[in-house]
Amino acid sequence: MAAKRTPSGKAAAVAQGKPAPKARPAAPPGVRRPALRANPYEMLKAGILDGTFEPGSPLVEVQLAEWCGVSRTPVREALTRLEQDGLIQRSDRGYVVKARSPEEIFDIYEVRVVLEALASRTAAERHTRVDLLRLEHALNAWEKATGRSDPSEQQKRNQEFHRAVWAASHSEPLVDLLERLSLHLSRYPATTLTAPGRRESSLEEHRQMLDAIRGRDADGAAELATSHFTAALDIRLAMFEQDVF
């Protein structure tokens, strides 16, 4: 005799005399529905960084809760965290996505130059043999990426090299600060590597930074990092003038 099938999901609820589970609300027109089990904070952060929620867009709890498929409480908690991250701000309309500005770019890079120089200096002083292997691997991957036309791939490899420098510093507080700063910079998705000649000059600067770190030249590594990110700031400001964010 064939085994009797056991109902599941909505059918099981009905069979047991329980109300059938409600269907998840549809996503707003033009907005892709996130994964079912995603965290509201991560979902909203990703939406801000990838441009789903544009700068200046209002963030209404009820609408966001429906979009995320959760109640308003976790959305409210997520908005509080996003405000602490500096990605959104309060206005007379409630929360809105923080706008972009050249002043903010300058402020971000002014701090970044200092922190990246400190990371390079500390990496030169504290790196291990394993750190050097990671840096060399990241640089090799970056060299291969420069021959490709995909800016996002080049940007990814560029970031991997800098994160390898951070890791080589063996300073958790410093890495935490740099990660938070990187989050702010992610709101400006355009990469400086699209500027004429920047890919080649950036790659050469990376080689020099690695040589200084390998040679435990702390002052040299810090100076190279300062020069590298000051040049990046100049390009960022020029891109903003051309409305390329």
Helices (H), the chain: 9-15, 40-49, 61-68, 72-85, 102-126, 129-145, 151-169, 172-185, 198-214, 218-241
Question: Which three-class secondary structure state does DSSP give residue 160?
Answer: helix
Residue 184 in tokens = 């702010």
CATH topology of domain 26-97: Arc Repressor Mutant, subunit A (1.10.10)
| Contact yes or no for 197/234 (Cβ under 8 A) | no
Q: How far apart are CA 150 and CA 110, in angstroms?
A: 28
How much is the pLDDT for 32? 53
Q: Which CATH superfamily is domain 102-241 in?
A: GntR ligand-binding domain-like (1.20.120.530)
How much is the pLDDT for 241? 77
Q: How far apart are CA 24 and CA 3, in angstroms?
A: 32
How much is the pLDDT for 194? 82
User: What residues contact 43, with CB distance under 8 A and at least 6 apart?
Assistant: 34, 68, 78
Q: Closest Cα partner for 162 from 120, 103, 111, 129?
A: 120
- What is the CA 59 to chain-centroid distance, rounded? 20
| Contact yes or no for 187/48 (Cβ under 8 A) | yes
Name residue 3's amino acid.
A
Give the pLDDT means over successive 10-residue stretches in the chain (245 positions).
45 41 44 59 91 91 92 94 92 89 88 97 98 96 77 86 97 96 84 86 95 98 97 87 66
User: Domain map of the chain by residue range?
Assistant: 26-97, 102-241
DSSP lists the bridge partners of residue 166 as none
| Contact yes or no for 89/83 (Cβ under 8 A) | yes
Q: Do domains 26-97 and 102-241 have the same CATH topology?
A: no
Q: Which own/partner contact pairs does 234-237 have at CB distance under 8 Å and 24+ positions apart?
A: 235/192, 235/195, 235/198, 236/105, 236/109, 236/188, 236/192, 237/102, 237/105, 237/106
How much is the pLDDT for 155? 85
